[in-house]
Amino acid sequence: MTKSIKAKSESIVVPFTGGKTIKRAYESYDKKVAGASRKLDGAVTLVFTQFIDACRVAGLKKDKDGCNALGKAITNSNDMKAVVARGLLQQSTVTNYAMSAKRAFFFGVDFDCNLFKDETKIFPWSTQKTKPEDKTDAKKTAGKSGAVETTTRDALMETLSKAIKQAALLNLTSLHDELLELADDNGFGVAPI
């Protein structure tokens, strides 16, 4: 399916056809197989690199409208919506991929799945001017966690999900990956972020 990308007054059509490739990559992903994460990352990176290159070749402008159009082409792709609907991917991951693609396009750098976290790649029109860590006051969060005397499996899953999200926000990639592996090994179907 072709998605129209409109930049200002001109209309540039660049199809985002990578959703099917991403769907196949996630369907065949088996964490227990050696190198599976690298293979998945490689497939995702290739799809978005090809799409960004197609946008550049088509003449999409490196401005707010062009970046927003590129992001919408990804998030509004029927194939990506199908991947989310099947539970292979969370919508937040699709949004993160789109942000990473927008940053790679605008700043002229290689696509990386974690580029959305790169605080040196903030758009000039962005209202986010501070680092996420700067927004939290250590004094307010200190002592917030209490002693656990009783719990449930659901409560543990919620806590693991929060810890995984926190590790991603803090760009602690190895901790993030280890927590995902730990959750997966113990039957907690926590999706990658």
pLDDT digits (tens, 9 = 90+) for 33-61: 787 888 888 999 999 999 999 999 999 99
- pLDDT recorded at residue 193: 58
- pLDDT recorded at residue 107: 96
Given a cut of 70, is residue 11 above it in pLDDT?
no
The tens digit of pLDDT for each residue in 143-157 reads 456 567 788 877 777
Q: What is the 3-state secondary structure (H, E, C) of the chain?
A: CCCEEEECCEEEECCCCCHHHHHHHHHHCCCCCCCHHHHHHHHHHHHHHHHHHHHHHHCCCCCHHHHHHHHHHHHCCHHHHHHHHCCCCCHHHHHHHHHHHHHHHHHCCCCCCCHHHCCCCCCCCCCCCCCHHHHCCHHHHCCCCCCCCCCCHHHHHHHHHHHHHHHHHCCCHHHHHHHHHHHHHCCCCCCCC
The tens digit of pLDDT for each residue in 92-147 reads 999 999 999 999 999 999 999 999 999 899 999 988 654 444 444 444 444 456 56
- pLDDT recorded at residue 16: 84
What are the residue boundaries of the structural domains of the chain, listed by start? 1-124, 130-193
Percent of the chain topping pLDDT 70: 76
- pLDDT recorded at residue 137: 45
- pLDDT recorded at residue 155: 76
**Mean pLDDT (the chain, rounded):** 79
Q: Which of residues 175 and 139 earns the better pLDDT score? A: 175
- pLDDT recorded at residue 134: 44
- pLDDT recorded at residue 35: 79
- pTM equals 0.62
- pLDDT recorded at residue 102: 96
* Mean per-residue pLDDT, 158-181: 75
